[in-house]
Structure 1
Amino acid sequence: MAPPRVISLVPSLTETLFALGAGATLIARTRYCVEPVGAVEGLPVVGGPKDPDVDAIIQLRPSLVLMGVEENRREDYDRLRAAGLEIFPARVRSVADVPPVVVEIGRRLGTLDAARAIASEIEGAAESVVTFVADVQRQAEQGLLHVFCPIWRDPWMVASQGTYLADVLRRVGLPSLLHHPEAADGSAYREVELDEIVEVDPGLVLLPSEPYPFGPDDRDEILSWPLRASRERQVHLVDGRMLTWYGARTASALHALSLLALRWVGAEDEPKTAPPTIH
């Protein structure tokens, strides 16, 4: 049997392939597939998640294309399917969705044992975090702490409740009144106006590095807004991959974010038992 020939159109799944020991199966990637550093740079680039070079992908004749329901476009999926390519469309809207996705990829690539090990780590981290963030939730509720975590600006946009990002924040004890249920049209994101943000008065603002590359200038702008978070200097730049990259990174992201959450809400004592550091 010929070895698998995989093209990944999802950066976090590209990283996960290497964690599974299946990096050698990858024959092309998107320009945003930059991890692991030192392992992907020599691979051909076939556009981005939202604008893949479909013709180039078809010409490479992969045996499997990894896509994400949220990250990639349906029209590109349809064209690749029409060309007869096998596609695995990952549907991840919560932390609980990640282990089955990892296991299925491992099954298809012959790395099932490694996939089950990563899935077990994710499940263990998620379970540990439930207890670990009790202090975060308690203090957040007492202080009426709500989080504003935009994914874009001009216009400002936030994720809906039915997204991986919103679930990660919820699991580490950082709720948001701005994460409304999914829109009737199925959109995972929605625009928010400054007046709405001010009305919610978040006590914490997280500015991720992706998909929009928030930086110091954005932080300085929000610090001037009439928000509790601004008055208390609780506006923080964070690694967006902790919030949006699912797969091999999920377990360690939950651990890191839970520790940061404790710091942000000013918990006096850290729990006696912390989730294990993974990867």
Structure 2
Amino acid sequence: MQIIDQLQRVIQLEKTPKRIVSLVPSQTELLCDLGLKDALVGVTKFCVHPSTIRKEVKVVGGTKQAYIDKIKALKPDVILCNKEENTKELVEACALVCSVHVSDIYNLEDSLELIKQYGEMFSCSETASFIIEKISSEFENFQDFIRPELIIKVAYFIWKKPWMVAANNTLINYLLEVNKFENVFGHKDRYPEIEFSSSGIIANADLILLSSEPFPFKETHKKEVQEIFTKATIELVDGEMFSWYGSRLMMAFQYFKTLRLNLQSIPL
């Protein structure tokens, strides 16, 4: 079987992989929703969905620093990586163990393509098609909902010390646009560090979103930011909904709808 991953790398597989190592949390969740939980032999310490997965499957390290010796000992048929989540060095090291599939996600189309690829690669196309249809339906319904809503200028924070935001060429920015949130850092690339002050471009944001991941922003941080940006609305948001692809997208658009409805009661 020949598979072309999302970096256009050709992967040769003699048969359907039965032993899978996943080095990406959102892809681990997708595999389980595809009915492949029993085929997982290795995951990362950040793979938190389903909640029991780290107790049931061998943890091989993190997304940036996985232990190749532990991975090799599991004798995987395939290792699943992501261009953003995993380093080039880690992918290259994994390639010395077995075949490696690398995803590269920037928008909904990329996400659906990945689900389809997994369906073909793991012989579960019927379940993959169900997930794709569910996500597509939720997306279409959300588009109808969001169409009459006004555009809101936002800044989306992902880290503190240093302060970092999500900018252009990210799945987060794409989903902000889907929500009719205009990213005030949309002119910058990826995840830039910014100077956190009451002056500058961030002051143009009507809404500041503090993500639950990778930095776990809490109510205390919300108060801290509000003291500086007194005129902006500060909201804590579920980072998984804005940055996890795969089957998580089946829930994301309902979450976005609830978020937007809650914002309607706030003067922006």
TM-score normalized by structure 2?
A: 0.87
Given candidates 57, 67, 75, the residue that maps to 2:81 is 67
Describe the shift of the 1:102–1:112 C-alpha distance in structure 2 as closer, same or farther (beyond 3 A).
Answer: same
The answer to whether the aligner puts 1:173 opposite 2:180 as a matched pair is yes
What is the match of residue 226 of structure 2? 223
Question: How far is the alpha carbon of 1:201 from its aligned partner?
Answer: 2.5
Report the secondary structure of 1:243's partner residue. Answer: helix
1:23-59 CA distance string (max 9 Å, x none):
1110011001011123442211111001111221122
Match of 2:104 in 1: 91
Q: Paired residue for 2:208, among 188, 197, 205?
A: 205
Aligned residue number for residue 41 of structure 1: 55
Counterpart for residue 5 of structure 1 = 19
Tell me if structure 2 keeps the 8 A contact 1:149–1:158: yes
- Give the AA of the match of 2:128: A
1:164, distance to aligned residue in structure 2 (A): 0.6
- For residues 240 and 90 of structure 2, what CA distance do their matches in structure 1 show? 24
Local SS of the residue matching 1:17: helix
In 2, distance between residues paired with 1:10 and 1:245? Answer: 10
How many percent identity over aligned positions? 29
* Residue aligned with 1:93, SS: coil
How many equivalent pairs are there?
Answer: 252
Contact 1:159 1:166 in 2 (8 A): yes
Q: Aligned to 2:183, what secondary structure does the other structure show?
A: coil
Aligned to 2:148: 135
The question of 1:152 aligning with 2:159 is answered yes
Q: Which has the higher strand share?
A: 2
Match for residue 277 of structure 1?
Answer: none
State yes or no: 1:125 paired with 2:138: yes
Counterparts of 1:167 and 1:132 in 2: how far apart (Å)?
17
Unaligned 5+ residue runs, structure 1?
A: 183-187, 269-279
Residue by residue over 1:66-92, the C-alpha shift from the partner in whole angstroms, topping out at 9 and shown as x without a partner, is 1111111000001111x1411110110
Q: Which residue of 1 aligns with 2:254?
A: 255
Give 2:125's aligned residue: 112
Q: Distance in 2 between matches of 1:7 and 1:161?
A: 30
Uncovered stretches (5+) of structure 2, i.e. residues with no partner: 1-14
Aligned to 1:192: 194
126-135 vs 244-253, which moves further: 126-135
Q: Matched residue of 1:99: which SS?
A: helix
Measured in 2, the distance between the counterparts of 1:166 and 1:227 equals 24
The answer on 1:51 being equivalent to 2:65 is: yes
1:12 shift after superposition: 0.6
Partner of 1:185: none
1:223–1:2 Cα change, 3 Å: closer
Deviation of 1:199 (Å): 4.9
Equivalent position SS for 2:205: coil
* Aligned residues of 2:16 and 2:123 also touching (Cα < 8 A): no
